[in-house]
Amino acid sequence: MCASWSACFAQPKPVHVDKYSFINYRADTLYVAKNQPLLPYFISKLDTLITLSSGNINIVHIGGSHVQAGTFPHTVRQEFLNAYPGFSAGRGLIFPYAAAPKCNNPTDYRTRSIGKFGLVRNVHQEHIKPLGISGIAVYTLDSISEVKIIHRDSLTKFNTTKITLLGYATGDSATIPLLLIDSATFQPTQIIPEKRQFIYENICVTDSFAFYLANKATASFTITGILLENANPGIIYHSIGVNGASTDAFLRCVHFEEEIALLSPDMVIFGLGINDANDPDFIPSTFKENYLALVAQFKKVNPNCFFIFITNNDSYRKVGKKYHVNKNALKVRKVMYELAEATGGAVFDQFEIMGGLHSMDKWRLAKLAQNDRVHFTKAGYEVMGKLLFNAIVREVRGLDDEVIR
């Protein structure tokens, strides 16, 4: 391990963020647990990557609609890759959200589909299809269907040499998805039925690909995720988001824990809580227990995994025709600090950065938040993404920023 944290992270610097009078920039830092913090393990592995060009850093950002929208996690992803040019590994885990009707897709890639697809989300108590790490699935019973992914980020190109399709067939015959790249067709090089994996290797993808599905009359095929990798050392930023998801939603996914191993997480950024807190009967102790259960699943894969807990943003609940500030955000914030201490992790205090209770109105008037008083606009998510990146950089570089609690 490096003698000093700042030596490990000497090159990257905080990026520019537009200034607004109502944002508490002094709070843009990580509160790191005093009790057995695990951040040095992450920094040591990052230092090995940068100095020896060895290994991968896997960051997993998991949440609800703030993550599914894509702008927030992709902003952090871009800043990491801008900070470390030449260390762009695979795009990581994605999901074809827009294959299903009225399901929004992340901003850095498009999904196009042929055929009719149904949608299963972990927000429901009962799942008609088993769910895994993505917390969501699309499925089709059509005899012929296709799902296409189109990369649309002009700033970052991801070379993909290996694709793992997470999915499974049901019915009388086992559907084998064909991978289409331009005019070429690829059979899976490996099929692992018990892990619901179709693996395609020795390929070359930079912008788009598709999966062609041919089901027999009584068969269906379900897709639960797509993992894009290559053999390069570098940073992989996975994002997992499901609209409306709460902490217990991911605990209901029967294959979630098993599939964590696919991502080899070194850092997990948790952004769950806004939907938990929307419940008028929100119980902080249950919320904390759910989070600890999720943490335990990740720790089984990597005991030294470092966790960052993002507090809720200030938000409002609509009751009738009126909006009321959601004071449960204060309870969530308190639990987040407790979780950081319990796990050796950290807190990114989004609530304090925004300005506390009622700050959402100022963000909304500045066109950084939407009129629903829960979600940010694209510009707002970009601001928050840059602030999160800066908070991580400041901490691992050992900069002496005051922590606002």
For residues 62 and 55, the answer to whether their CB atoms sit within 8 Å is: no
Among 90-99, 148-157, 313-322, the range of highest mean pLDDT:
90-99
pLDDT at 8 over 90: no
- Taking every pair of Cα atoms in the chain, the longest distance, rounded to a whole number of angstroms, is 64
pLDDT at 405 over 50: no
pTM for the whole structure: 0.94
Q: How far apart are CA 52 and CA 44, in angstroms?
A: 12
pLDDT at residue 154, rounded to an integer: 72
Percent of the chain whose predicted confidence (pLDDT) is above 90: 84
Lowest mean pLDDT among 6-10, 310-314, 348-352: 6-10
Lowest mean pLDDT among 168-172, 205-209, 288-292, 338-342: 168-172
- Give the pLDDT band of residue 223 (cuts 50, 70, 90): very high
Six token digits for residue 55 = 């290994």
**Considering the chain, what is the average pLDDT of its residues?**
93
- Give the pLDDT band of residue 320 (cuts 50, 70, 90): confident
pLDDT at residue 369, rounded to an integer: 98
Burial of 245 (0-12, 13-18, 19+ CB in 10 A): buried
Half-sphere exposure (Cβ direction) of 339: Cα atoms closer than 13 Å: 34
DSSP letters, 61-114, are EEESHHHHT-HHHHHHHHHHHHHSTT-B---EEE--GGGSTT----TTEEEEEE
pLDDT at residue 172, rounded to an integer: 66
Q: State mean pLDDT over 308-331.
A: 95
The predicted-structure confidence for 235-289, as pLDDT tens digits, reads as follows 999 999 999 999 999 999 999 999 999 999 999 999 999 999 999 899 999 999 9
For residues 263 and 118, the answer to whether their CB atoms sit within 8 Å is: no
Q: How far apart are CA 186 and CA 191, in angstroms?
A: 13
Q: How far apart are CA 342 and CA 332, in angstroms?
A: 15
Q: State mean pLDDT over 378-399.
A: 92
pLDDT at 195 over 50: yes
For residues 390 and 28, the answer to whether their CB atoms sit within 8 Å is: yes
Six token digits for residue 374 = 């829960």
The residues facing 225 across adjacent strands are: 166
- Give the pLDDT band of residue 171 (cuts 50, 70, 90): confident
pLDDT at 400 over 70: no
pLDDT at 203 over 60: yes
pLDDT at 355 over 90: yes
- Give the pLDDT band of residue 218 (cuts 50, 70, 90): confident
Lowest mean pLDDT among 15-29, 34-48, 132-146, 383-397: 34-48
Six token digits for residue 5 = 């944290």
Q: State mean pLDDT over 190-200.
A: 96
pLDDT at residue 156, rounded to an integer: 80
pLDDT at 26 over 80: yes
Tell me, what amino acid is at 92? Answer: G
Tell me, what amino acid is at 199? Answer: I
The residues facing 60 across adjacent strands are: 238, 268
pLDDT at 315 over 80: yes
For residues 56 and 235, the answer to whether their CB atoms sit within 8 Å is: yes
